[in-house]
Amino acid sequence: EFTTIIVEKGTPGFKQVSMHGKMMWRASDTAELYFDDCRVPEENLLGKIGEGSHIMLHTLDGGRLSIAAMGLGCAQGAFEAALQYGNERKQFGKPIVKFQVNAFKLADMATKIELARNLLYKACWLKDAGKPYGKEAAMSKLYCSEIAKQVADEAVQIHGGYGLMKDYDVERFYRDQRLLQIGEGTSEIQRLVISRYIGC
């Protein structure tokens, strides 16, 4: 049985310690939270006693949409960077996007991004309409985060050696996408959630 409460910054016994050295999302403030004989007033209660699990699971569904949106944005950004680079970089007298291997990679990337966008938009529409959206949130989070990984990887490949250099945005997209398969529930957890929704 869980209960959710708000612990305000500055509460005696509550300490946050910044974490440094992350490979991704370096601009985000990540911290470890410590509670040592920390007491909070009763008015800091969120919901009712024992409703914590329900509140946390409901919050996770919304968070999954946020992670899905980040995945979609990462994939879109990596795709656009790869397309631009592919049009600018020339080999054998023509842009490398004119080579079928790269053109087909970009076509697959664009298709996956469009599918991810539609899946995410459906989940957001359900949420906005006040309808159940837990399954669609898990599907969106799973698909968008994994598409971000695939697209970022292909974008680095199209850039060749330059894709590994910090001078090019695809290097950051490649690093940043990794958290998306972990935060708000791993890809494995999303598959578990989806499998339960579909009756497995």
Residue 152's nearest CA partner among 112, 101, 118, 100 is 112
- Least confident interval from 32-36, 53-57, 64-68: 53-57
Neighbours of 142 (CB within 10 A): 26
Distance CA 160, CA 168 (A): 11
Q: Which residues pair with 18 in a beta bridge?
A: 31
- How confident is the model at residue 150, as a pLDDT? 98
For the whole model, what pTM was predicted? 0.86
Domains in the chain with CATH codes:
4-46 (2.40.110.10), 53-197 (1.20.140.10)
pLDDT band at residue 1 using 50, 70 and 90 as cut-offs = confident
pLDDT band at residue 26 using 50, 70 and 90 as cut-offs = low
Left (φ > 0), alpha (ψ -120 to 50) or beta: where does 37 sit? left
CB 46 within 8 A of CB 7: no
Distance CA 33, CA 14 (A): 7
Angle (CA) 131 133 135, round 5°: 145
Task: Flag whether pLDDT at 183 surpasses 90.
Answer: no
Residue labelled with tokens 């990337």: 109
CB 64 within 8 A of CB 52: no
Task: Flag whether pLDDT at 24 surpasses 80.
Answer: no
User: pLDDT by residue (tens digit) across 54-66?
Assistant: 888 888 899 999 9
Q: Which residues pair with 5 in a beta bridge?
A: 45
Q: Which residues are catalytic?
A: 184
pLDDT band at residue 20 using 50, 70 and 90 as cut-offs = confident
Distance CA 192, CA 60 (A): 14
Distance CA 67, CA 191 (A): 15
Helices (H) and strands (E) in the chain, counts: 5, 6
Using a pLDDT cut of 90, give the percent of the chain over it. Answer: 74
Q: What is the mean pLDDT of residues 21-30?
A: 72
In whole numbers, what is the pLDDT of the chain averaged over residues? Answer: 93
Instruction: Please indicate whether residue 143 or residue 168 has the higher confidence score (pLDDT).
Output: 143
Instruction: Please indicate whether residue 183 or residue 134 has the higher confidence score (pLDDT).
Output: 134
User: pLDDT by residue (tens digit) across 86-121?
Assistant: 999 999 999 999 999 999 999 999 999 999 999 999
Task: Flag whether pLDDT at 37 surpasses 70.
Answer: yes
- How confident is the model at residue 21, as a pLDDT? 73
